[in-house]
Amino acid sequence: MRMLVSLLVFMSLSSLAFSDENASSYILPRPLIFETHELKSAAAIYDDDSVNVNCTSWRFAAETNNLAPWKTIPAECAGYVKDYLMGRGYVVDLERVSEEANVYASSFGFSGGDGKDTWIFDIDETLLSNLPYYLEHGCGLEVFDHTKFDKWVEKGVAPAIAPSLKLYEKVKDLGYKVILLTGRRENHRVITIENLINAGFNNWDELILRSLDDDHKTATIFKSEKRDEMVKEGYRIRGNSGDQWSDLLGFAMSQRSFKLPNPMYYIPEVGKTNSYSII
Amino acid sequence: MRMLVSLLVFMSLSSLAFSDENASSYILPRPLIFETHELKSAAAIYDDDSVNVNCTSWRFAAETNNLAPWKTIPAECAGYVKDYLMGRGYVVDLERVSEEANVYASSFGFSGGDGKDTWIFDIDETLLSNLPYYLEHGCGLEVFDHTKFDKWVEKGVAPAIAPSLKLYEKVKDLGYKVILLTGRRENHRVITIENLINAGFNNWDELILRSLDDDHKTATIFKSEKRDEMVKEGYRIRGNSGDQWSDLLGFAMSQRSFKLPNPMYYIPEVGKTNSYSII
DSSP string, B45-66: HHHHHHHHHHHHHHHHHHHTT-
Mean pLDDT over each residue of chain A, to the nearest integer: 84
CA atoms of A240 and A180, how far apart (whole Å)? 10
Convert the pLDDT of each residue in A72-107 to its tens digit.
999 999 999 999 999 999 999 999 999 999 999 999
Q: Is A6 on the interface with B (CB under 8 A)?
A: no
SS3 readout for B231-258: HHCCCEEEEEEECCHHHHCCCCCCCEEE
Cβ distance B42 to A45 less than 8 Å, yes or no, reads no
The whole-number pLDDT of residue B42 equals 59
Query: Is B2-259 assigned to CATH 3.40.50.1000?
Result: yes
Cα A228 → chain centroid? 22
Average pLDDT over residues A17-33: 42
CA atoms of B215 and A88, how far apart (whole Å)? 44
Which positions in chain B touch A252 (Cβ < 8 Å)?
A: 278
Tell me how close the Cα of A19 comes to any Cα of chain B, in angstroms.
31
User: How would you write the pLDDT of chain B (279 residues) with one tens digit per residue?
Assistant: 443 333 333 333 333 333 333 444 455 544 333 333 444 565 665 567 889 999 999 999 999 999 999 999 999 999 999 999 999 999 999 999 999 999 999 999 775 578 999 999 999 999 999 999 999 999 999 999 999 999 999 999 999 999 999 999 999 999 999 999 999 999 999 999 999 999 999 999 999 999 999 999 999 999 999 999 999 999 999 999 999 999 999 999 999 999 999 999 999 865 443 333 222
Task: Please name every residue paired with B14 in a beta bridge, in sequence order, or none if there are none.
Answer: none
The whole-number pLDDT of residue B174 equals 94
Task: Please name every residue paired with B242 in a beta bridge, in sequence order, or none if there are none.
Answer: B259
The whole-number pLDDT of residue B48 equals 72
Which positions in chain B touch A58 (Cβ < 8 Å)?
A: 96
> Domain map of chain A by residue range?
2-259
Which positions in chain B touch A45 (Cβ < 8 Å)?
A: 4, 7
Nearest-by-CA chain A residue for B64: A64
CA atoms of A65 and A71, how far apart (whole Å)? 14
Convert the pLDDT of each residue in A188-208 to its tens digit.
999 999 999 999 999 999 999
Helices (H), chain A: 2-7, 42-63, 78-86, 88-106, 131-135, 146-155, 162-174, 189-198, 219-232, 245-248
The whole-number pLDDT of residue B276 equals 31
Task: Please determine, for residue A119, whether its predicted confidence score (pLDDT) is greater than 70.
Answer: yes
Burial classification of residue B86, based on how many CB atoms lie within 10 Å of its CB (0-12 exposed, 13-18 middle, 19 or more buried): buried
The whole-number pLDDT of residue B279 equals 22
CA atoms of B237 and A165, how far apart (whole Å)? 39
Best of A2, A53, A244 to substitute, by most chain B Cβ atoms within 10 angstroms, is A53
Nearest-by-CA chain B residue for A101: B66
Q: Other C-beta atoms within 10 Å of A260: how many?
A: 26
Q: Is B8 on the interface with A (CB under 8 A)?
A: yes
As for the ipTM of the complex, it is: 0.82
